[in-house]
């Protein structure tokens, strides 16, 4: 469950209430396409157990006078150049500030649940200096003291070093080691960590970091998340910490790709859309990281069925790209090269580089010295959790292509909401989650996760490495044998004008080993509670049990859980099920008719399984029970 300002593809309900699709879309400026479910299965529920904590402040506490809510919390770390200041990212290579987005801007961009995107700007001399020529002294800025170099004049040498241009789409493999160390790639040469490039908390005189950037991706009609620079120019807007996607490409090829449509996020579309990629007006040095936590579905398909859509992760572009899964290098597109492609197929575990087989996921793990536990298979075991980390660099001086497409099934994470006594969101409150003793005392060294509420009062708990916190993993690590299964949630920074609430005590209930449900131990004392959330997916055109097709834009849909998740806690289609009921106003005195509801008698549960009201529906006899749904 993401902060409410981010478009979501799923409906969440804490108490089984209905969610108005039309209202939700209006509030979030969402489109029908955003509601595609990867599996496109109406009756399969992804059962998520999340932390939702309501934190009212003490009675009488009011916002301070003049206090205003800021945008979504995403701390941008200062990085200074020679001037000691950081200009706007969007105007680094432009004479004027970025114009407000209007015509030609797409409104269906999404920020997937379970995916975190960080953006980085790099430079050698100053942040605003052109990067089409190398300075006399290359040992400064982002290059200072480093082996991996950003350069405007990479020598063409297919068999050269890590800073040479391969001259083709062939990547230069082996630049980084097979295993991440402390969450970041390590150079094979010299054992230098690349954390100075990809860690948003680590300052560098040649880097500016923009963590938790939103709205780079869209969803296609098959349920894939995607971005393609050949279709849409992506312009980063620092004010909203989000991408602006245009309905056409920008920047012409100045290199060998010949592609009309390049990826230069720190430039203004209207100013560079007709320029060549070799123009001095463009910012050529930047990086992106993307972290996605996902569950391996049964059969390696989105909906868990044998004939379902395979789960895949695909990328095409340049320059360096490294994809790690559970800290193991699975996709290696390192080096300064032309656009190269990577595909990982989670159904059979096969990996492809430029369309050619490059081993399997199993092969990659064994090569890295990591034990492989799913004997007899080249892919992961069903219902297991994994983390994919994508590292991308543009460090040459020509084309910058990016095409990304994936349909990973994300893991539900834990979120928090804080509101005041009248229900208004409270932004800017910082929280820390600690592992606690039996009496809920804790050692400050046992910090698990942190978060800061945004303008809507929400945040999603994150692990120290930036991945999203899952209750299943939390229970596995802290709720097993010899563990207390107890936690302390502490508000470490309270916004001005509010009182700090007492410590919130949380625990996993004993005797329910199969459930990853976190409860509040002191709700009546502090006014905070934890509750599970059911997440159900809904396609554009839901189909009823009788074959009737409905529109996801009309009316209200209710989700009824028929079976809770099993001990694995996966919420996959083979372990949990449910039914979504369209609820529309009915003509007075008429009942719905359907194969399972001919006499208007409800099945077990509060809502009958019925098709829409029709003129042929029988008049309701006074003695017949036929609950109205509105």
Tell me the domain boundaries of the chain: 1-49+532-583, 51-65+414-462+473-524, 115-290+316-341+383-403, 588-630
| Cα-to-chain-centroid distance, residue 184 | 19
What's residue 115's pLDDT?
87
- Nearest Cα neighbor of 460 from 293, 327, 323, 303 is 293
Report the candidate in 269, 270, 250 with the shortest Cα–Cα distance to residue 260. Answer: 250
Report d(CA 270, CA 274) in Å as an integer: 9
pLDDT tens-digit map of 449-507: 888 888 888 877 877 666 677 777 788 889 888 899 999 999 999 998 888 888 999 99
What does the alpha-carbon distance between residue 299 and residue 311 come to, in Å, rounded to a whole number? 9
What are phi and psi for residue 353, nearest 5 degrees? -120, 120
The pLDDT score that the predictor gives to residue 452 is 86
pLDDT band at 551 (very low <50, low <70, confident <90, very high): confident
pLDDT tens profile 71-127: 222 222 222 233 333 333 334 333 333 344 456 999 889 888 778 899 999 999 999
Model confidence at 413: pLDDT above 90: no
Residues 6+ apart with CB under 8 A from 476: none
The pTM assigned to this predicted structure is: 0.67
Fold of 51-65+414-462+473-524: Immunoglobulin-like (2.60.40)
Looking at residue 455, what is its pLDDT?
Answer: 82
Whether the pLDDT of residue 562 is over 70: the answer is: no
C-alpha span between 587 and 599 (Å, rounded): 17
Residues 6+ apart with CB under 8 A from 244: 101, 105, 215, 234, 235, 236, 237, 269
Q: Is the pLDDT at 63 greater than 50, yes or no?
A: no
Is the predicted pLDDT of residue 20 greater than 70, yes or no? no
Closest CA to 318 of 365, 239, 263: 263
Kindly report, residue by residue over 200-246, the tens digit of the pLDDT.
Answer: 999 999 999 999 899 999 999 888 999 999 999 999 999 999 999 99
DSSP 344: E
Residue 72 CA from chain centroid, whole number: 15
Taking 3-state DSSP, the helix, strand and coil percentages for the chain, each rounded to the nearest 5, stand at 10, 30, 65
Q: What is the mean pLDDT of residues 494-521?
A: 83
Q: Take residue 73 and report the two structure tokens written for it.
A: 């919390």
- The Cα–Cα gap between 546 and 456 comes to 40
First to last CA, the chain: 26
Give pLDDT tens digits for 335-350: 999 999 999 999 999 9
Q: Band the pLDDT of 624: cuts 50, 70, 90.
A: very low
Range of weakest confidence among 238-247, 262-271, 585-594: 585-594
**What is the DSSP-derived secondary structure letter of residue 503?**
P
602 or 559, which is more confident?
559
């Amino acid at each position: 469950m993401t902060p409410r300002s981010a478009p979501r593809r799923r409906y969440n309900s804490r108490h089984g209430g209905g969610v108005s699709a039309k209202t939700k879309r209006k509030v979030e400026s969402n489109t029908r396409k955003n509601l595609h479910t990867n599996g496109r299965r109406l009756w399969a529920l992804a059962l998520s157990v999340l932390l939702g904590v309501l934190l009212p402040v003490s009675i009488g506490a009011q916002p301070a006078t003049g206090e205003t809510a800021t945008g979504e919390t995403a701390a941008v770390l200062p990085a200074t150049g020679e001037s000691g200041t950081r200009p706007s990212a969007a105007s680094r290579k432009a004479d004027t500030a970025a114009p407000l987005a209007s015509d030609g801007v797409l409104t269906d961009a999404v920020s997937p649940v379970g995916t975190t995107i960080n953006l980085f700007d790099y430079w050698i001399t100053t942040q605003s200096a052109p990067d089409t020529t190398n300075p006399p002294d290359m040992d400064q800025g982002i290059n200072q003291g480093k082996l991996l170099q950003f350069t405007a004049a990479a020598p063409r040498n297919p068999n050269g070093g890590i800073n040479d241009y391969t001259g083709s789409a062939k990547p230069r493999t082996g630049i980084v080691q097979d295993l991440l160390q402390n969450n970041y790639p390590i150079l094979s040469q010299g054992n230098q960590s690349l954390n100075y490039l990809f860690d948003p908390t680590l300052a560098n005189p040649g880097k500016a970091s923009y963590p938790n950037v939103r709205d780079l991706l869209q969803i296609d009609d098959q349920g894939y998340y995607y971005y393609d620079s050949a279709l849409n120019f992506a312009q980063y807007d620092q004010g909203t910490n989000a991408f602006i996607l245009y309905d056409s490409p920008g920047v012409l090829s100045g290199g060998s790709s010949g592609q009309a449509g390049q990826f230069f996020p720190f430039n203004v579309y209207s100013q560079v859309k007709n320029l060549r990629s070799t123009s001095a007006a463009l910012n050529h040095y930047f990086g992106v990281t993307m972290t996605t936590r996902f569950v391996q579905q049964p059969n390696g398909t989105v909906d868990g069925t044998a004939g379902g859509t395979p789960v895949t992760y695909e990328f095409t572009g340049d320059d360096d790209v490294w994809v790690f899964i559970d800290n193991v290098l699975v996709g290696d597109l390192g080096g300064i090269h032309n656009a190269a492609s990577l595909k990982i197929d989670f159904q059979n575990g096969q990996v492809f580089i430029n369309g050619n087989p490059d081993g399997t996921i199993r092969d990659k793990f064994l090569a890295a010295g990591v034990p492989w536990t799913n004997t007899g298979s080249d892919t992961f075991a069903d219902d297991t959790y994994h983390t994919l980390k994508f590292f991308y660099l543009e460090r040459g001086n020509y084309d910058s292509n990016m095409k990304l497409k994936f349909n990973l099934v994300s893991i539900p994470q834990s979120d928090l909401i804080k509101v005041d006594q009248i229900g208004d969101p409270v932004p800017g409150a910082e929280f820390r989650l600690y592992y606690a003793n039996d009496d809920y005392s804790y050692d400050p060294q046992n910090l698990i996760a942190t978060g800061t509420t945004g303008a809507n009062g929400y945040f999603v708990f994150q692990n120290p490495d930036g991945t999203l916190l899952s209750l299943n993993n939390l229970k596995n690590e802290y709720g097993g044998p010899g563990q207390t299964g107890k936690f302390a949630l502490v508000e470490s920074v309270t916004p001005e004008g509010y009182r700090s609430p007492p410590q919130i005590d949380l625990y996993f209930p004993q005797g329910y080993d199969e459930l990853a449900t976190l409860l509040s131990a002191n709700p009546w004392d502090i006014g905070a509670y934890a509750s599970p959330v059911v997440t159900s997916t809904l396609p554009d055109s839901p189909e009823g049990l009788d074959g009737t097709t409905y529109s996801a834009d009309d009316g209200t849909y209710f989700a009824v859980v028929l079976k809770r998740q099993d001990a694995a806690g996966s919420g996959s289609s083979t372990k949990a099920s449910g039914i979504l009921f369209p609820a529309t106003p009915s003509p007075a005195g008429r009942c719905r008719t359907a194969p399972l509801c001919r006499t208007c008698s409800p099945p077990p549960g509060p809502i009958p399984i019925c098709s829409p009201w029709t003129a042929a529906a029988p008049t309701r006899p006074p003695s017949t029970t036929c609950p109205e749904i509105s």
